[in-house]
Amino acid sequence: MYLNQFLLLSAALFATGVYGVLARRNGVLVLMSIELILNAVNINLVAFAAFGNQPAGEVFALFVIAVAAAEVGVGLAMVLLLYRNRKSIDLAQIDLMRG
Amino acid sequence: MSTSTLFAATGGFDPLTGGEVMVAQNIAFAIMAVTMLVGAVRMVTTRNVVHAALYLVIVLAGAAGVFILLGAEFVGVTQVMVYIGAIIVLFLFGIMLTRGSFGDDDGVDGERRSMAAMVGALVLAVMAAALVDTFRDAELSRAQPSLTADVGDLIFSQYIVPFEAISVLLLAALIGAIVVARGD
CATH number of the domain encompassing residue B70: 1.20.120.1200
Instruction: Please name the member of B56, B91, B116 whose beta carbon is closest to the beta carbon of A19.
Output: B116
Asked if the structure places residue A99 within a domain, the reply is: no
Q: What is the pLDDT of residue B48?
A: 85
pLDDT, tens digit (0-9, with 9 covering 90-100), for B120-169: 999 999 999 999 999 888 888 755 778 889 899 999 999 999 999 999 99
In a domain, B39, yes or no: yes
Closest residue in A to B60 (Cα) is: A39
The answer as to whether B134 is a domain residue is no
Same-domain check for residues B10 and B76 = yes
> Is pLDDT at B182 greater than 80 in this prediction?
yes
- φ, ψ of residue B136 to 5 degrees: the values are -40, -70
Residues of chain B in contact with residue A47, where contact means CB-CB under 8 angstroms, are 70, 140
| pLDDT at position B170 over 90 | yes
Is B116 an interface residue toward A (CB < 8 Å)?
yes
Who's near B75: CB < 8 A, 6+ residues apart?
Answer: A42, A46, A58, A61, A62, A65, B67
Cβ contacts (< 8 Å) between B90 and chain A: which residues?
A: 72-73, 76
Calculate the CA A4 to chain-centre distance.
22
Number of domains in chain A: 1
The whole-number average pLDDT for the span A57-68 is 94
- Output the pLDDT for position B124: 95
Query: Over the Cα atoms of chain B, what is R_g?
Result: 22
ipTM of the complex as predicted: 0.92
What is the three-class DSSP state of A85? helix
More confident residue, B137 or A15: A15
CB-nearest to A76 from B56, B94, B154 is B94
Tell me the shortest Cα–Cα distance from A98 to chain B, in angstroms: 18
**Domain of residue B156, residue span:** 147-184
Question: Count H helices, E strands: chain B?
Answer: 8, 0
- Measured CA to CA, the distance from residue B28 to residue A60 in angstroms comes to 25
In eight-state DSSP terms, residue B79 is I
pLDDT band at residue B21 using 50, 70 and 90 as cut-offs: low
Taking the Cβ of residue A25 and every Cβ of chain B, the question of whether any pair is shorter than 8 Å is answered with yes
Q: B104 and chain A: CB distance < 8 Å anywhere?
A: no
Q: Are A26 and B102 a contacting pair at CB < 8 A?
A: yes
- Given CB atoms, is B151 within the 8 Å cutoff of chain A? yes
Task: Give the HSE-up count for residue B100: Cα atoms under 13 Å, Cβ half-sphere.
Answer: 8
B169 touches chain A (CB under 8 A): yes
pLDDT at site B67: 94
Q: What is the mean pLDDT of residues B83-95?
A: 91
In a domain, B115, yes or no: no
A13 lies in which domain range?
3-93
pTM of the model: 0.86
Domain shared by B163 and B100, yes or no: no
Determine the length of chain A: 99
Nearest-angstrom CA–CA distance, B90 and A66: 14
Residues B82 and B164 in one domain: no
**Based on the structure, what is the number of domains in chain B?**
2
Q: What is the DSSP string of B90-142?
A: HHHHHHHHTTTSSTT-----HHHHHHHHHHHHHHHHHHHHHHHHHSTTPBP--
B98 vs B1 pLDDT, higher one: B98
A66 interface with B at CB cutoff 8 Å: yes
